[in-house]
A and B are shown apart, each in its own frame.
Chain A
Amino acid sequence: MSDPAARPAPAAPLLTAAGMTRRFGGLIAVNNVSFTVAPGEIFGLIGPNGAGKTTLFNLMTGLIPATGGRLSLRGTDITRLPPHRIARLGIARTFQNIRLFGNLSALQNVMIARHSLTRTGVLPGVLGLPGARREEAATRRRALELLDLVGLAARATGQARNFAYGDQRRLEIARALALDPTVLLLDEPAAGMNPNEKAELSGFIRDLRDRFQLTIVLIEHHVPLVMGLCDRIAVLNFGQLIALGDPATVQRDPAVIEAYLGSD
């Protein structure tokens, strides 16, 4: 790969956010934010607490409706689509405050996310018709592969809520990958990880990008990780986009130093 930081955003972006806005009562959580993400890019989203990063993720995945603005994936408007439609179009995510199906096994968590890529209906499934059995076996195999990828294959039958924090984050990534996404949104993937795990995370995320031809947008507080990993970085403060560019440029931006690096 060529030096990613030097690569400009190509003319045909994969993901385009134009004037994204979200109000909660009087508060403007996300204010007129515009950016594009190129295919294959690792795009960082940083900013102080309460800057609106997670809200932006929620807007991008349809979990909360936008007050204004437009979001498109490969030129298709997805602003008003419900979360499951957006997921099926190829945007998968993890959650900052981990939202696994805690009472279910790791395997079940991942198998659930294969839902939109499988089709067995009630009757063929209940009757265990050959097609249904084949699909079930394939789903299980694929889920085990993904668990293996994140290093959890040995604990596939363990209940998700009993996993350590770092393992839960990895399981969330496996679950998101089960959707065969084109865009993966990672909300603070390093949170709660120990220094060793954090060190490995950069390589792991790059590896994911290459292996699955993913485009990755990630929210992260751990500055060295973001600076070393991301091709470009967007900085939010009080809901507004205050800087956008490659890590070196963003790092030197006075507004960023003032708002984020200075205060954190």
Chain B
Amino acid sequence: MLQQVLNGLAIGSVYAIFALGYTLVFSILGIINFAHGAVFTLGAYFTYTLLGGVFGFNGLLANGQLGIQLPFVIALPLGSVLAGLIGVLIERLAFRPLRLRGADPLLTLVSSLGVAVLITNLIQYLVGAEIYNFPADIYGTLPKAVNFGTAGAPVPVRTVQLVIIAVSVVILIALTAIINYTRFGKALRAVAEDATTAGLLGINTDRFILLTFFLSGFLGGVAGTLIASSVSIAGPYFGIAFGLKGLAVIVLGGLGEIPGAVLGGLVIGLAEAFVPPQYSGYKDAVAFAILFAVLLVRPRGLLGRALVQKV
């Protein structure tokens, strides 16, 4: 029981961090950035590279390796910052031109889908489709697992899961602080509340949007790295599947709701952790079943405000 809860919280908190990346962009632009899953993937590959990982022989970068090997505590933030920069690049290339033209969100959605496919397949072209594992020693001398039970009735939880929970908590606290106490956070809340008011407040929208995409990409990078450290990089497509699950998370929490993304992530993480082992094959469908249920019963999501339609 405790084991499932901790595992559920671990995966759920990564869902939360990842989904926050969707939510930040959605709350200011009203658009779902479908490239977010691809940024997640990139973040994992960036960190893998910075850790000194070697690439397989399939892609264009066959057997390539960075000259340096950074420790995990540095590679994680650095890889995520790189992912954040990719987020900025995506904003400039695939979002901004359409925004300036006042194009419909549906068109921007298509463009972000295009970016997702582009990045994913570019990765495959460069480093192949094989599975990459982070080096086993990234946590140094920490034990592989921690026993939460007694010696007689052990409840082992992998250290990785605990690290994930710890990192997630740190990130969530930092993000809460940013949103509540910085100029950026105030602007974010203002825009999420009402775009016109925010315009009147004299927020430099362009820089503000860039910053949001950076933060979104950073969160995607952290999430990708954490999942890769817990399981592996399952190939260039691993972010796509994760990205789709993230959509279920934000719908459950309420589109554009920052606390909703966290709650939605934890709920879906826990729901997956409690899937009985004999049905484990269906685990990946849980999030999507929840998405359907939400659309049927409460389309605004758990914490969403009433759907307002502009006439």
Contact = CB atoms under 8 A, between A and B. Distances in A.
A and B touch in the complex (CB under 8 A): yes
A64 B311 CA distance: 8
B141 interface: no
A164 interface: no
Interface string B280-311: 00000000000000000000000000000101
Interface in A11-68: 58, 63-64
- If over half of A's interface residues share one DSSP class (helix, strand or loop), that class is named, otherwise mixed; here it is loop
Interface string A61-83: 00110000000000000000000
A246 to B, nearest CB: 31
A8 B309 CA distance: 38
Interface residues of B, number: 2
Interface residues of A, number: 3
Interface string B132-161: 000000000000000000000000000000
Contacts of A64: 309, 311
Contacts of B311: 58, 63-64
Contacts of A63: 311
B224 to A, nearest CB: 38
Contacts of A58: 311
A58 B311 CA distance: 8
A111 B208 CA distance: 46
Contacts of B309: 64
B310 to A, nearest CB: 10
A100 to B, nearest CB: 15
A58 B310 CA distance: 11
A68 to B, nearest CB: 15
Interface string B40-74: 00000000000000000000000000000000000
A58 B309 CA distance: 12
Nearest to A99: B311
A63 B309 CA distance: 9
Nearest to B194: A25
Nearest to A97: B311
B103 to A, nearest CB: 15
A27 to B, nearest CB: 12
B156 to A, nearest CB: 51
A95 to B, nearest CB: 9
A63 B311 CA distance: 7
B34 to A, nearest CB: 26
B83 to A, nearest CB: 37
Nearest to B310: A64
A12 B309 CA distance: 34
A261 to B, nearest CB: 28
A59 to B, nearest CB: 10
Nearest to A61: B311
A64 B308 CA distance: 9
A100 B309 CA distance: 18
Nearest to A54: B311
A29 to B, nearest CB: 11
Interface in A100-141: none
Nearest to A96: B311
A64 B309 CA distance: 8
A240 B26 CA distance: 36
A47 to B, nearest CB: 18
B282 to A, nearest CB: 37
Nearest to A24: B308
A154 B271 CA distance: 64
B287 to A, nearest CB: 31
A25 B311 CA distance: 16
B75 to A, nearest CB: 46
B294 to A, nearest CB: 21
B256 to A, nearest CB: 16
Interface in B65-112: none
Nearest to B308: A24
A64 B310 CA distance: 9
B269 to A, nearest CB: 33
Interface in B161-198: none
Nearest to A95: B311
A229 B309 CA distance: 34
A149 to B, nearest CB: 27
B57 to A, nearest CB: 53
B309 to A, nearest CB: 7
Nearest to B305: A25
A14 to B, nearest CB: 24
A204 B309 CA distance: 34
A222 B31 CA distance: 40
4 contacts: A58-B311, A63-B311, A64-B309, A64-B311
Interface of A: 58, 63-64
The 3 closest A-B pairs by CB, nearest first: A63-B311, A58-B311, A64-B311
